[in-house]
Chains A and B, each alone.
Chain A
Amino acid sequence: MEVFVVSLLNGLVYGMLLFMLASGLTLILSMMGVLNFAHASAYMLGAYFAYTISLYLGFWVALFLAPILCGFVGAAIEMWGLRRVHKNGHIAELLFTFGLALIIEKGVQMSWGLLPVPYRVPALLDFPLFSIYGTHFPAYRAFMLLISGLMFGAIWLGLTRTRIGLVIQAALTHPEMAGALGHNVPRIFTLVFASGTALAGLAGVIGGNYQVTEPSMAFTMGPIVFVVVVFGGLGSLAGCFIASLLMGLLQTFAVVLDYSLADLLRVFGVVVTSKTPFAEVLTVSLPRVGALLPFILMVLILVFRPRGLMGTREA
């Protein structure tokens, strides 16, 4: 029970962080058809911006300023880069964002160095909020949950209850029609790309000190975010939300559950010994393959349900 509750909390925190990253990506992907490889780079930029700003103006200013900066970077990329490349088709866009991700990584290495930067949790939030079965739950994790929860609410309300949200939804499925009705679709694209990047930046601000702020953080986070987007389904915020939480919980619980395929076989009366074929693979315990599980799920869903959990189109 104790393990279950604590793991649930940890899984939620990680899942919500994933959601902040993935929500922007899923909007961009479903609207513009761009698989944006540089999305996780915005997450990294957010963390580094926040670190630098917090040195001079404190964490709370950074919390607002860093995502806005990231949003501007996103808008610039869309207006002066992606829009030109767009004419040459999806492969060109893919390569463009991939190159961009590499350039941003090198740029970060050159500006902030190869070593992790000491970006820390603000002193105000650096205390255990409550104890559950003798394990402290740090206040900062609760704060992360709060921020990501607020963000989920804001996006959902923005997309369903505001005029601009309705136009975005229309442009998601019928861009030509929305354009024909007199809406400036390219500007909407820029807006979505910028806000998606800003969201990733915000995730970086609160994720950078929860994890480690280092130049390789984009490339460790990138693949798992793609898994979330594909799994959740294109253009579905709810699917993305469920997929994020699922991946967060999956990775957390995988660590705690010490089972292997051999244990599963034992239920069916097959006992694995060192002489059984593939014994090495069968006895690998779940914690050692935990990082692999999301990718296995992605492969399965692509085979059996290509449009994802709640998607409306084929991936």
Chain B
Amino acid sequence: MQRMIRLFAVLLVSIVTLLGASAQAQQTIKVAYTDPLSGPFAQVGDANLKQMQYIIDYINDHGGALGKKFELVPFDNKSNPSDALIALKSATDQNMPFIMQCSGSNIAAALIEAINKHNDRNPDNRIIYLNCGAVATELTNEQCSFWHFRFDLHVAMKAEVMVRAIPQDVKKVYLINQDYLFGQSVQRDVKTFLAKNRPDVTVVGDELIPLGKIKDFSPYITKIKASGAQALLTGNWGPDMNLLIKAGIDAGADLRYYTFYAHLAGGPTAIGPAGENKVFAVMSYSENVAPEIGNKEAEAFTLGFRAKHNFDFSAAGFRTIFEYLQAGVNKAGAVDATKIAFAMEGLSLKDYLGFDTTMRKDDHQIISEYFVGVFKKGVKYEAEGTGLGWQTAATILAKDVDQPNTCKMKRPRI
């Protein structure tokens, strides 16, 4: 019996080794992707995954990097830092050079810490963290890391854009944010920029809500109405965003909504026609940007996604990430995390819309253009079949979103 078990174990080990060898032979550049693919935020992770896959296919069709193709390997983290760390372990066990994570700054913080340790201890098996949407300001300031590259503007930059978009006649605002690292970051930064740029505006309410727990926001809307607020400022995302706006629109509250994420999956449906001209989103892209600036190539790229999937291509900006990867890997001349990290910092590219972008060397924070969209009728591409869509109300160029940073970067010795 014991011999049988031993034989079986030997067999198993050899099969695993063979499988590993065949994976090596395929010669793809693997990018681990970990986000919630189940649980309350599954919708967000799932939409990201499909958009990312479309972009990767596009990049692979346009040469990949060093003659190799990129390959996305998804891991469900259930919005849970510990599950994200398990994904990281699997990724490093398989020698993947990149891990990508978009949703949840608390998860991002855990990943950064774990990657710092891992890369210190395993100089020949390092991994780069591509941050596609965890935007708490701290992550590229106090907690900045050489291995962390952020491809979305951080909260303080977005907050400044948002505060500038608030019209002069709004004097009373209400803040609702999710009770974790990101939401607290929004709460603090929005208040800072309100005090700096709009001292005439008073914050009549300031609230933190439990993440992903609330199913009916009507009580909050009642409270917001009673406070006399003219505008609601929120960094909420996923169901916390969609249900909040839906409750507000259903109750017929006379409010304007300034958001970071109303344009993402499910948002436009939740807003509906009653929200015309009331909802604003600080966004990296909407499908109407390309026709508005007359960029035919970008428009065709967006339409290609629509032909394959029946939802909006709101994350086309992820293409910038893979263009940086492509350029970084080609410049490094090898699929080696340390070399690629050095190649990507300080890199400047024109993005697919034709705007200037830079991966700032000091803190590995991208500096790119950004848009403020307003939800209204009569746009070229409607959102989620609502008949309404996002029209660009303001375009902010990279040089105008730039803010100083406090990062003290520790670089590895080569």
Contact = CB atoms under 8 A, between A and B. Distances in A.
A14 B217 CA distance: 12
A7 interface: yes
Nearest to B179: A288
A256 B223 contact: yes
B216 A10 contact: yes
A213 to B, nearest CB: 11
B37 A114 contact: yes
B46 A134 contact: no
A173 interface: no
Given A135-B252, A135-B253, A288 B210 contact: yes
Contacts of B46: 114-115
B405 interface: no
A211 B216 contact: yes
Contact of B252 (A3, A14, A136): A136
A216 B250 contact: no
B16 interface: no
A212 interface: yes
Interface string B214-233: 01101111110110000000
B42 interface: yes
A132 to B, nearest CB: 10
Contacts, number: 75
A212 B239 contact: yes
Nearest to A252: B219
Interface of B: 37-40, 42-43, 46, 179, 207-210, 213, 215-216, 218-223, 225-226, 239, 243, 250-254, 266, 269
| Size class of the A contact interface (CB-based, 8 Å) | 20 to 34
A114 B225 contact: no
A3 B223 contact: yes
Contacts of B179: 288
Contact of A3 (B216, B222, B243): B222
Given A3-B223, A114-B38, 9 more contacts: A2-B226, A114-B39, A134-B254, A135-B251, A136-B250, A214-B42, A220-B213, A252-B219, A256-B222
Contacts of B208: 288
22 contacts: A2-B222, A10-B219, A14-B216, A114-B38, A114-B42, A114-B46, A115-B43, A115-B46, A116-B42, A116-B43, A134-B225, A134-B252, A135-B251, A135-B253, A136-B251, A138-B250, A212-B239, A216-B40, A220-B213, A252-B219, A255-B223, A291-B210
Interface of A: 2-3, 6-7, 10, 14, 109, 114-116, 118, 128, 131, 134-136, 138, 210-212, 214-216, 220, 252-253, 255-256, 287-288, 291
Contact of B42 (A115, A138, A287): A115
Given A135-B253, A136-B252, A287 B216 contact: no
B246 to A, nearest CB: 10
Contact of B213 (A118, A134, A214, A291): A291
A115 to B, nearest CB: 5
Nearest to B219: A255
Contacts of A109: 38
Contacts of B223: 3, 255-256
A131 B252 contact: yes
Nearest to A121: B250
B182 to A, nearest CB: 16
A291 B213 CA distance: 9
A287 B207 contact: yes
A135 B223 CA distance: 11
